[in-house]
């Protein structure tokens, strides 16, 4: 049994896990974690998961006094004969507990192990849970000497897990900031979000996930397309997942950027994936020669002009109409070329209005007419899959779509 700690927008993380493992294998714990019935999970495969761990036991209480006592007993028992120095962090999720109380637990463990001659360093924290950065920088969960205890509320019980790693923020930064070609004007799709979208679009049907369970031959590639490839963020993350990547874009400049970034990525990270075709084309009328062989399509579509403040209704309607027309034409074009049942994930714009709500594209309510059904999830509502930051007006609504059978080719 594994546990996953969810990120800033939990619904997206839950949907990501469900896409890969199936909703029946997942138990949601509030807005902070999920239990997954699986023997294997790797945090580096997921963009919206902060940490993963192995469930070791449960405490029939959510009172920290009881939880702390049990953790201390088990830890002393299991590490009394340990050789070498231990680095230990403790993180709590969903429990009503202050950071200083967690620190006291760490101090108790340290004193008890000292009596056994075991050296231990406790990582201090000003919050109930160690940040991803602290966990990653201290390499917690990556060896038997680097330990993070995850105490997670599950109803009236507390689930105790040992971390198996946190998001590799160093790798994400390198994959984003060290690329030879970047362009803030066309938007900056975060690599983590691209990774999440690939999981939403491909689900289990991706080489990296299949290889984790020993069932993938990388010599037989799964093929992916990003028809709005921009600077190539989706392409590079798909390379890391083992796909043969193909990309098109209306801008010749963006094609040059994608090619250079993809070649750089191959040299730097040596992924199992390979580069297919990357060329200039209009996604609203292009006939992709490889469309019938695609495993999935993942892209950030046209998001329209940026706004620093919520636009006036007239301006918003104008921008919405332009985006809706372009994306609708793209979806209709794609539907005539990909096989029945193909699942895709696209990011479309949604705008924060002056009253704080989101304004959506009209096409969201007419997906059947465009040739698609919206994927239903067991554990989240599709309408909750909106990626945004508080200071942004233009959000990304993630549409997970399945090509329906009633499309006229």
- 24: tokens are 């029946």
What pLDDT, on the 0 to 100 scale, is given for residue 116?
A: 94
**CB-count burial class (<10 Å; 0-12, 13-18, 19+) for 285:** exposed
Contact partners, residue 286, CB within 8 Å, separation at least 6: 227, 248, 333
CA–CA separation, 182 vs 232, rounded Å? 9
Q: How many helices (H) and strands (E) does the chain have?
A: 11, 17
Q: What is the pTM of this model?
A: 0.94
Would you say 333 and 307 are in contact if contact means Cβ atoms under 8 Å apart? no
H-state helical runs in 224-343: 233-240, 252-269, 313-335
How do 394-403 and 386-387 pair as beta strands? antiparallel
Would you say 28 and 15 are in contact if contact means Cβ atoms under 8 Å apart? no
What pLDDT, on the 0 to 100 scale, is given for residue 157?
A: 97
What pLDDT, on the 0 to 100 scale, is given for residue 287?
A: 98
Contact partners, residue 270, CB within 8 Å, separation at least 6: none
What pLDDT, on the 0 to 100 scale, is given for residue 101?
A: 95
For residue 284, the surrounding DSSP H or E stretch is none
What pLDDT, on the 0 to 100 scale, is given for residue 353?
A: 85
What pLDDT, on the 0 to 100 scale, is given for residue 218?
A: 63
CA–CA separation, 272 vs 55, rounded Å? 31
Closest CA to 370 of 314, 294, 301, 290: 301
CA–CA separation, 52 vs 4, rounded Å? 4
- Domains annotated for the chain, with CATH where assigned, are 2-167 (3.30.2130.30), 178-403 (3.40.50.150)
Mean pLDDT of successive 10-residue stretches along the chain, which has 409 residues: 97 98 96 97 97 97 96 94 93 95 95 94 94 97 96 97 97 94 80 98 89 71 95 97 97 97 97 96 98 97 90 92 98 97 97 88 96 96 93 94 77
Closest CA to 3 of 31, 26, 19: 26
Q: Name the phi and psi angles at 149, rounded to 5.
A: -90, 125
């Amino acid at each position: 049994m594994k546990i996953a700690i969810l990120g800033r927008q939990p619904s997206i993380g839950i949907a990501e896990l469900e896409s890969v493992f199936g909703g029946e294998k997942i138990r949601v714990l509030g807005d902070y974690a999920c239990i997954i019935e699986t023997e294997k999970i790797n945090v580096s495969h997921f963009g919206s998961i902060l940490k993963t761990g192995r469930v070791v036991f449960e405490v029939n209480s959510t009172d920290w006094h009881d939880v702390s006592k049990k953790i201390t007993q088990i830890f002393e028992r299991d590490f009394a004969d340990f050789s070498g120095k231990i680095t230990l962090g403790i993180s709590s999720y969903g429990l009503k507990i202050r950071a200083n109380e967690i620190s006291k637990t760490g101090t108790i463990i340290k004193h008890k192990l000292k009596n056994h001659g075991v050296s231990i360093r406790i990582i201090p924290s000003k919050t109930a849970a160690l940040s991803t950065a602290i966990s990653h920088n201290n390499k917690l969960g990556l060896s038997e000497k680097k330990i993070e205890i995850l105490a997670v509320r599950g109803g009236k019980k507390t689930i105790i897990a040992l971390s198996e790693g946190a998001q590799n923020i160093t790798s994400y930064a390198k994959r984003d900031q060290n690329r030879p070609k970047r362009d803030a004007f066309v938007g900056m799709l975060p690599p983590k979000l691209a990774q999440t979208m690939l999981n939403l679009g491909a689900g289990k049907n991706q080489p990296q996930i299949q290889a984790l369970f020993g069932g993938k031959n990388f010599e037989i590639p799964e093929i992916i397309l990003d028809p709005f490839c921009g600077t190539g963020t989706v392409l590079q993350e798909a390379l890391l997942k083992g796909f043969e990547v193909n990309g098109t874009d209306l801008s010749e400049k963006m094609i040059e950027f994608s090619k250079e970034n993809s070649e750089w990525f191959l040299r730097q990270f040596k992924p199992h994936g390979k580069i297919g075709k990357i060329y200039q084309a209009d996604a609203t009328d292009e006939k992709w020669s490889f469309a019938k062989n695609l495993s999935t399509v993942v892209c950030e579509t046209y998001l329209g002009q940026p706004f620093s403040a919520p636009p006036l209704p007239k301006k918003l309607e104008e921008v919405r109409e332009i985006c809706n027309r372009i994306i609708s034409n793209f979806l209709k074009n794609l539907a005539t070329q990909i096989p029945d049942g193909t699942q895709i994930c696209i990011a479309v714009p949604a705008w924060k209005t002056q009253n704080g709500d989101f304004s959506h594209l009209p096409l969201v309510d007419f997906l059947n007419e465009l040739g698609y059904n919206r994927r239903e999830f067991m554990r989240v509502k599709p309408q909750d899959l909106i990626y945004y930051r508080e200071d942004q007006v233009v959000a990304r609504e993630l549409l997970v779509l399945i090509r329906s059978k009633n499309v006229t080719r």
